[in-house]
Amino acid sequence: MTHKTPTPDTLDRLAAVVGGKHAIRNTAEMDGYMREWRQIWVGRSPMVLRPGSTGEVSRILAIANETGTAIVPQSGNTGLCGGQTPTDDGHEVLLSLDRMTRIIDVDANDNTITVEAGATLKSVQDAAAAKDRLFPLSLASEGSCRIGGNLSTNAGGLNVIAYGNTRDLCLGLEVVLADGRVWNGLKRLRKDNTGYDLRNLFIGAEGTLGIITAAVMKLYPRPKSHETAFIAVPSPQAAVDLLSLMKELSGNRVVAFEIIADFALEITIRHAGARHPLASSSPWYVLAELADPVRGAMEALLESALEKGLVTDAAVAQSDSQRAAFWSCRELISESQKPEGGSIKHDISVPVSRVPAFLEQADAAVSQLIPGSRFVSFGHMGDGNIHYNVSQPPGMDKTAFLDSWNAMNDVVFDVVAKLGGSISAEHGIGRLKAYRMPKIKSAVELGMMRDLKRMLDPNGILNPGRVLPE
């Protein structure tokens, strides 16, 4: 059964589950749920449901499953792939987790935090910090994104090099299945070898297999000190070698290792008021951070790197404000691209050792496609994850440049495939890249994914068309 336009009777039954106040039908009130912040994905829906409990989510899905009503789960609405906003045909009902925000439990001995799916990432970090623990997931959207969305996209962010992706931070889940059954898998176990790992099916599934309503996440001791350096390196290969050296000499205390192209730094200075942390320019920079290092460890290892020719200049932050200034050079890049005209973005990963080859080959391929393109390459080099953003040539018509979005994706993704990489490192597939799945997955892999979808959601009501093309 494919999903149908919900009848007035179905909408009334769904609204009765949450109560009139939490079933929004007024277009103006629904607006914030219908569009994401860049206005790229804008949709329509007959109703927004805001359940307050797992029981209510369960009753909603049971009705939706019976009536063939498509449901789009939404947490913080910061996703970048069109997964959390409805299509514009007005058939899909939006289910927001924004009332399910409870921090259920923080256990400093088990090093766990149990939360409802609508808790914002920031509130989870703060609740952990209040018990002197670290919840290490950190994204620029952390004030708005919610843990259900982080899990459903398997979000990455700044500290993956040390603590892993959201998947690695999760111990247990509670999930409502398409037919309304509730799976309570809220375990705190570090070891549990009892058969198939169901939890991992729902992580990164972008709401296509079930709705996550609560989770148990891992906590860590809070680092007592950091050493942060802004480093000039002659090439991406030098950055790869520097990363190996840093891991080795620091005793694996590297918690961030971001690469920044000179042009990316230049535009943050030009448009966002960032200050150059070094006296002169270099083709590439690395922003690196050690947690709880032996005092002076950063300076010692930079000296060693200087001797090896891996580093040409560096500044080590002497205060919290200098550390924040270094980080702002990284965090302001995306917004600094806007005044440079059109920009075509890619969130790719390759094995760390192949980042230099990726940058060289992708730059060559894109330059051939659109001569004069400018490369705003930056990102989580320590994870092999580059935000490969291309700004239009100066003077080119913006619309003409953006019209080549798919053609540019094609040439970049060809390089990614050749190097054994992934076309989505951390943002997911959503509607944006679903059509590419048959190209990037083998028939066996795609077949297993479709079988799982059919088994867990036989009526296709959960986020149709996301991840798997219809």
Residue nearest to ligand FAD (CB): 149
The residue among 157 and 293 lying less far from ligand FAD, judged by its C-beta, is 157
The residue among 95 and 310 lying less far from ligand FAD, judged by its C-beta, is 95
Taking the complex as a whole, how short is the minimal distance between the CB of residue 158 and ligand FAD, in angstroms?
A: 7
Alpha carbon separation from 160 to 155, 167, 168, 222, 427 (Å, rounded): 9, 11, 9, 16, 14
CA dihedral 282, 287, 288, 289 (to 10 degrees): 150
The residue among 74 and 268 lying less far from ligand FAD, judged by its C-beta, is 74
Tokens 């979005």 sit at which residue? 405
The residue among 74 and 112 lying less far from ligand FAD, judged by its C-beta, is 74
- Looking from the CA of 76 toward its CB, the CA atoms found within 13 Å total 27
Taking the complex as a whole, how short is the minimal distance between the CB of residue 152 and ligand FAD, in angstroms?
A: 3
The residue among 334 and 373 lying less far from ligand FAD, judged by its C-beta, is 334
Which of 91, 85, 157, 34 has its CA nearest to residue 432? 85
Taking the complex as a whole, how short is the minimal distance between the CB of residue 403 and ligand FAD, in angstroms?
A: 24
The residue among 37 and 405 lying less far from ligand FAD, judged by its C-beta, is 37
The residue among 238 and 456 lying less far from ligand FAD, judged by its C-beta, is 456
The DSSP-derived string for 311-355 is: -SEEEE--SHHHHHHHHHHHHTHHHHHGGG--EE--EEE--GGGH
Tokens (6 digits) for 418? 């050749």
Taking the complex as a whole, how short is the minimal distance between the CB of residue 207 and ligand FAD, in angstroms?
A: 3
**Rounded distance between C-alpha atoms, residue 444 and residue 438, angstroms:** 11
Which of 119, 378, 126 has its CA nearest to residue 260? 378
The site for ligand FAD (CB under 6 A) is made up of 37, 72-80, 83-84, 97, 117, 139-141, 145-146, 148-150, 152-153, 155-157, 206-207, 211-212, 426-427, 430, 463, 466
Q: Do residues 10 and 63 lie in contact, with contact meaning Cβ atoms separated by under 8 Å?
A: yes
Alpha carbon separation from 208 to 43, 153, 178, 211, 331 (Å, rounded): 18, 11, 9, 8, 31
Which of 294, 214, 261, 245 has its CA nearest to residue 373? 261
The residue among 69 and 361 lying less far from ligand FAD, judged by its C-beta, is 69
**Rounded distance between C-alpha atoms, residue 382 and residue 256, angstroms:** 7
Taking the complex as a whole, how short is the minimal distance between the CB of residue 226 and ligand FAD, in angstroms?
A: 19
Count how many residues are written for the chain. 470
Taking the complex as a whole, how short is the minimal distance between the CB of residue 339 and ligand FAD, in angstroms?
A: 17
The residue among 78 and 282 lying less far from ligand FAD, judged by its C-beta, is 78
Q: Do residues 415 and 358 lie in contact, with contact meaning Cβ atoms separated by under 8 Å?
A: yes
Tokens (6 digits) for 282? 């270099």
Taking the complex as a whole, how short is the minimal distance between the CB of residue 37 and ligand FAD, in angstroms?
A: 6
Residue 273's φ and ψ, nearest 5 degrees, are 75, 15
